[in-house]
Structure formats: C-alpha cells, structure tokens
Structure 1
Amino acid sequence: MRALARVGLGLVLALATASGALAQPRPLGDFGRPKPSVWHDEVLPALGSGRARLFGEGGSDLIVTDAEREMADRLWRYEISPHAADWVFDASAELRRVRIASSARAKLDLSRYFNWLKSTGYASSGTRFRTVADHVRADIDLLPQAFAAICAVMELDAQRAYAASQLAVADARLTRQVALRAQDNAIAITRFVALLEFRHASYLYALDRLLVESPDPSAREADGRIADLEIWVGEALAGRFCHAPGFLAGRAGQEALPGRVLMGRGDEDAGLPRK
C-alpha cells in the first residue's frame, strides 16, 4: 500500500512538472513578500507534506502561528531576488519551501550575479556599480524586519518547549511535534543565514571583477553598501537576531569604511584603486 501511495504521488508530481506548474515562481507583492495563492499556499504544501510523510522526513502538524507565517514571508525575500530574477532560483526555492524537494539544494554559484550584470545592456560603467549599490540597499532595508521575525519565532519555540514540559499529563506525541517544529524553524533560519552570506559574497565577487573590467568612481557607494551588509551577515552568523536591529539602527545614514575601493588623489576621475 505504501509503495502504491508513492507511485500515486509520484504520478501527480510528474504531471505537475510536465505541465510546468511546479516551475512557476511564487507570485510576489510589495517588498518581495508573497501574494496569497491557492496553488502555492494550499495545493503544493499538501503535496509536499504527503511526499515528506511517505519518505519518513517527519515534519510537525502543530498549528502554524502568525509569527511563523511572518518569518516565512520575510525570509522568502532572501530565497529569491525580485530585483534581479536572472540570477536566482525561484523554482527550486519554491520546491524546497513546500517540501516537494526538501532535500534539494540549489548550487550557489558566486559568478551568477556578476554574469547577469555583465550581460545586461547598461549605458555606462557607473550604472552597473549603482545597480549593485541599489540591490545591496534593498537587501539591507528589509533585514531589520527579517531579524525581528526570526527573533519572535525563536522565542515562540522556547515558549512551546516550556509549555510542553509543564503539562500536567505528559504527552509524548505533542512533545515530539514541538521538537519537530523547532527543528523545521531552525532549518529555515539556517538556510536564511547561508543565503544572506551567499548574497554578500556574490556582491563582493561582482564588485571585484567590475573594478578590473570597468573601473568607475561609482564603485565607492557599492563598496560602502557591501561593507554595511557584511555587518548584518556577521550578526546573522553569530545568531544575534534579537539585538542586531537595534544595534545597527544607529548606523542609519552612515557609510561603512570602503574596503575594496580606496581612491587616492588623481585617481578619482579614472575610478582606479589607490596604489
């Protein structure tokens, strides 16, 4: 019976793949947050849950809280890149989200963003550097809300674990479901940190190569923005989600010290690094 169920689910997924339905990116609204969609919010998650159960991948059936929905929506913005769709992984990210391909991992190729910039028909070299600065700023602008959402879910998981430990009558199944949900949330957070680190590395990769191929004074702004993003990456890697937004808010309007682009006298007009 289990084998037949796998075959049946496999046929459904195969038909959906053949029709291109699984490859459709999740529709987005303001600030890169997903729009409501029956297909993406109900049908695909149901298929993914069935696949996960059949293959013994666990998962929790606890009620999904508002805080967890908020975190999922906030972090989705970093799974994809609505401002540069050619270098992202919309389809594979969606399949991971709904657990149809929960073990799949997109190949994180640092050259993709640079290749996208290079192949895009910009009118000037400065425009490419300004594009990088704009993209980094777009990532940074939404990080305070993403960190706050993660912090809320971490506190929620702690509250669940404590409440489960205080049950008058022990409930092994419920306790396991609490642990599984905490594990699912931790995986989502770990994935976010890895993607944030990847985005920062991709921007650096692009900046370094643009400085070689088409130096321009506009590189200074991009360099400063990337240095700001590096601070957020460091906080994320350290797991400081509940304090980083307040700490970094004091930096509003300040430019990070340039790292890659150090202009000297006589070099500004040429856009060359200082020797």
Structure 2
Amino acid sequence: MPTTSLFRRSRRVSALTATLATLVAGCAQQGDFGRPKPGAWNSFIDTAGTFAARERGEPAAALPFTDDEGTLRDRAWRFLMPAAGNEAFTDILANLTRSRILPASWRPDSPEAYYAGLMDGAFRSPVSRYHRLSEDIGADARLLPVFVATAARVIQADALRLRSMSFARSLDDWDARQANMRVAENRCLIAWVRLETDLRIARYRFALEHLLVAVPSPEAALVQRTLRAFEARRPMLDPLVPPDAEDRCDLAGAQVEAVVVVPAPARPIVAKY
C-alpha cells in the first residue's frame, strides 16, 4: 500500500478514535475514594488518550504500568477532575484532558468555576453550600497524603529503573527510550496534580469569600479551618518534582494564563468580633 494511503488511513483511524472517545467520555464516572470507576469505558478513554498524547509528541510509553503507577493515575483523578461536577459538558472536557486526549494546557478554567457549580441548582438552605464546600475541601485534604505516598513509591521505582539501565547489556535504543518516557510521564503527572492543587485552593478560597458575602453564616469558620488544613498539606507535593516541572511538562502556559489565582489575604476570611 502506498505511503500516502497509509498516512491517510492512519489519520482516519486517529480521527475515529478521537470521535468515539468524545462520545463515550461522559460515561467516565468517579468511583470510591476519589478514583475513577473501573470499567471498559474508562479503560478505553485512557487508551485513546495515550495514543493521542503519543501523536502530539508527548511522553507516552508503550510499557505496562506497575501497580503503583496505576494507583498513581487513579489517585490523580480526584485532583484533575472538577470538584463541582454539575455541568456534563464541562466534565466531558475535563475528562478528555485528564485522559490526555486533549493536551493538559488546553482546558480553560477560572476561579469562579467551582463557586458557580456550587451555587447552581436549587438547595433548601444556604448552609448546605457551606457543608458541601467543607466536604470537598476535606476530601482533598485527606486524599492528598495518599497521593503523595504513592508518588514517592513511583519515584523510588523510577530511580531503580534508571540505575538498572546502565547495567543491562541487552537493552536497545527502543527500550531505553520507553523507560525514559515512562519516567517523564510519571513526573509530569505529579507536576500536573501539584498545579491543579494550587488552582483548587484558589477556587475554594474564592468560593468561601463570595459565599460569606452572599449568604453569611457561622459555618464559614469551619470551612476556613478545613481550608487551612488543606493548605498546610499542599507543601507535601514540593519535594516530589523540581520547582519548574510544570514548565518542563508544558502544563503552566495556557492554564495559568486562564486562571487568575486569588492570593490569600493577610487576615483570616472569617473575622471574630
């Protein structure tokens, strides 16, 4: 078959894969403990994302995942998907980005997004919005150390992988390239979660500030304590990857420009009188 025909066929297959992935992306559902729900649909989306990332020239190794690498990706789900998933289309776009069908820097976002989802729809009492905000922040705070522990094990395994390569005589260029790509994939995923954690903190603070002005309630004090606990755990991510990892992985560009991070005020949000 001529080269041109093969190229066209490859492009048609890629387009078909992307289209099918888009149609089924909405079926990707969250399971327990902030992980994706096991199933054929989620597996298909992740596989399609690997092919899409590879076509864009991003690190996408053809190696099987270790147990910890698979768990790392499951644990990252919580931080890469919207905290307030009330809009189906937004969830679909987020899942296409999380699975790498779309590039990580593509998905636009804003600090208002979470607050808009929090206040969308009918609710019996505004107090329920404070409870939902506190629950979302608390879940992130509880799951972050679990992600960090898994990431640390993956990094240790990657170090062993790289050291072993210098002693293995039967490896060829393909083996070495695949190993290095997997290490880069793991590092970039950790950096992506770190970036998203910073953005989530900004969204939560934005929501608390606006909620306190819109519907004042003593419940804000509890939300603030929960947010402070989450912020206190955020530095756990820093030793895992270099400070400029987001830039190296091309994560920061479009996302950071699209999100205006709300700086933390010098004084507490909830004042005591």
TM range (shorter): 0.7 to 0.9
Q: Supply the AA of the counterpart residue of 1:262.
A: A
Structure 1 stretches lacking a partner, 5+ long: 241-257, 265-275
Distance 2:145 2:53 in 1: 32
In the alignment, what sits opposite 1:143?
144
Q: CA deviation at 1:105?
A: 2.5
In the alignment, what sits opposite 2:7?
3
Report if aligned partners of 2:18, 2:48 keep a CA contact under 8 Å in 1.
no
Q: CA deviation at 1:210?
A: 1.6
Structure 2 stretches lacking a partner, 5+ long: 242-266
Distance 2:191 2:202 in 1: 17
1:66-107, Cα deviation, whole Å (9 max, x unpaired) = 0100111111121224x6312694322332344322355211
Q: Supply the AA of the counterpart residue of 2:269.
A: R
Report if aligned partners of 1:48, 1:100 keep a CA contact under 8 Å in 2.
yes
Q: Count residues with an aligned counterpart.
A: 243
In the alignment, what sits opposite 2:85?
85
In the alignment, what sits opposite 1:214?
215
In the alignment, what sits opposite 1:12?
16
> Over aligned residues, Cα RMSD in angstroms?
2.6
**Which residue, 40, 44, 47 being the options, matches 1:38?**
40
The 3-state SS of whatever aligns with 1:105 is: coil
Q: CA deviation at 1:221?
A: 0.3
Q: Supply the AA of the counterpart residue of 1:91.
A: I
Q: Supply the AA of the counterpart residue of 1:235.
A: M
The 3-state SS of whatever aligns with 1:101 is: coil
The answer to which structure, 1 or 2, has the higher relative contact order (CA under 8 A, 6+ apart) is 2
Q: CA deviation at 1:6?
A: 3.7
Q: CA deviation at 1:29?
A: 2.1
Report if aligned partners of 1:110, 1:202 keep a CA contact under 8 Å in 2.
yes
Which of the pair has more CA radius of gyration? 1
Q: Supply the AA of the counterpart residue of 2:163.
A: Y
Report if aligned partners of 1:71, 1:150 keep a CA contact under 8 Å in 2.
yes
Give TM-score, length-normalised by structure 1.
0.78
Map 1:1-275 to 2 at 5 A.
1=3, 2-13=6-17, 15-16=19-20, 21-41=23-43, 43-81=44-82, 84-86=84-86, 89-103=90-104, 105-169=106-170, 171-239=172-240, 259-264=268-273
Q: Supply the AA of the counterpart residue of 1:171.
A: D
Indicate how the Cα distance of structure 1 residues 136 and 36 shifts in structure 2: closer, same or farther if over 3 A, else same.
same
Q: CA deviation at 1:184?
A: 0.7
How much identity, in percent, do the aligned residues show? 27
Q: Supply the AA of the counterpart residue of 1:217.
A: P
Indicate how the Cα distance of structure 1 residues 262 and 52 shifts in structure 2: closer, same or farther if over 3 A, else same.
closer
Give TM-score, length-normalised by structure 2.
0.78
